[in-house]
Structures are given as structure tokens and as C-alpha cells.
């Protein structure tokens, strides 16, 4: 499926739509009390301790990251010479598993405002560490994160065209 737009514009457009869908799922889980994970907030608190500014800045960084990952997913589709919603969903699932198993547990070691599992909170490190699978942020965190990431990938797989319209 092609819209007639330049390929770069299509990647940015579908990357934005996929990021919006993923964010909606993950933030809805937070709003419903299933998870306390807000990746935009965690990204923003890397740069500022002011909570409102952190969420706004983090959201901008999160959208930019969504575009960056859309380019990576597109690169995978091109290298495999195929794209489909199910391939995108599988990539999103792998991406989500990596986020939950490797990235979130590593975060306290690099985040300037996050307490570690070993040392606990300090005056400057007050954010709770996510823990394995993000379970410190609620039982629904792994499920909502995987759901959001799978939808993100499925949207990109369904709508990003291969070069030459293939």
C-alpha cells in the first residue's frame, strides 16, 4: 500500500501513528490502574526533576524515539524484502520483550533520578526502579507494554511500503 508520498514522509507518518497507538494503549493501562509505567515520564526525568516539564519533554523524546524505531523497523522490512502486519507484530513483540527483560532492569544503573533495587531511594534518586518485566510498576505492566509494542509493529508492518511498491 502506498499513498504517493515520498518514502521518508510515509515512514514519519506511520511512525507517528504507530507511536500514538502504542502510547494510547500504555497510558490507558496507567489510567486504568493496571500499570504505573510511563515511558515518556521516565525519559523526561533523565533531563529534569520538575515533574510537569519532565512529562512534556519525555513525550517529545518518546515521539522522536518512535520515529527512530520506525526507521529501524523499516530497515528490517527492506532487508527481509517483505512487510506485513504479522511480521511487524512479531518485531514489536521482540522489541517489547527486550524492553521488559533487558532495558527496564538496566535503567536504575543509568537514570540519574531512579533508585536502585539494591540501595533504595536517596534525596536525588526517588523514582522507583521498574524491576524485572517492570513488575514493580504493576501486574499489568508487561501485558500492556507488550500489547502496545505489538500494535506499534503491526501498524508499521501493515502500512509501510517497500521501495518500488513491493
- What confidence tens digit (pLDDT) does each residue in 2-55 have? 555 566 788 899 999 999 999 999 999 999 999 998 888 888 998 988 888 999
* Band of pLDDT at residue 1, cut at 50, 70 and 90: low
Grid cell digits, residue 150: 505489538
pLDDT of residue 124: 56
Q: Give, as one character, the DSSP assignment of residue 162.
A: P
Residues 91 and 153 sit within 8 Å (Cβ to Cβ): yes
> 142: closest CA among 94, 88, 89, 100?
100
Q: What is the mean pLDDT of residues 153-163?
A: 92
Residues 125 and 113 sit within 8 Å (Cβ to Cβ): yes
Q: Is the pTM of this model over 0.85?
A: yes
Amino acid at each position: 500500500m502506498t499513498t504517493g508520498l515520498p518514502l521518508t514522509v510515509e515512514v514519519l507518518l506511520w511512525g507517528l501513528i504507530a507511536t500514538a497507538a502504542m502510547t494510547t494503549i500504555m497510558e490507558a493501562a496507567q489510567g486504568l490502574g493496571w500499570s504505573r509505567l510511563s515511558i515518556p515520564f521516565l525519559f523526561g526525568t533523565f533531563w529534569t526533576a520538575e515533574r510537569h516539564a519532565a512529562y512534556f519533554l519525555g513525550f517529545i523524546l518518546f515521539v522522536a524515539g518512535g520515529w527512530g524505531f520506525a526507521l529501524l523497523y523499516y530497515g528490517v522490512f527492506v532487508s527481509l524484502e517483505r512487510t506485513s502486519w504479522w511480521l511487524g507484530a512479531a518485531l514489536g513483540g521482540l522489541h517489547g520483550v527486550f524492553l521488559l527483560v533487558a532495558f527496564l532492569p538496566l535503567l536504575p544503573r543509568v537514570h540519574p533520578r531512579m533508585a536502585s533495587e539494591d540501595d533504595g531511594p536517596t534525596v536525588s534518586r526517588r523514582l522507583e526502579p521498574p524491576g524485572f518485566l517492570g513488575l514493580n510498576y504493576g501486574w499489568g505492566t508487561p501485558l500492556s507494554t507488550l500489547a502496545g509494542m505489538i500494535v506499534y509493529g503491526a501498524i508499521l508492518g501493515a502500512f509501510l511500503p517497500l521501495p518500488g511498491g513491493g
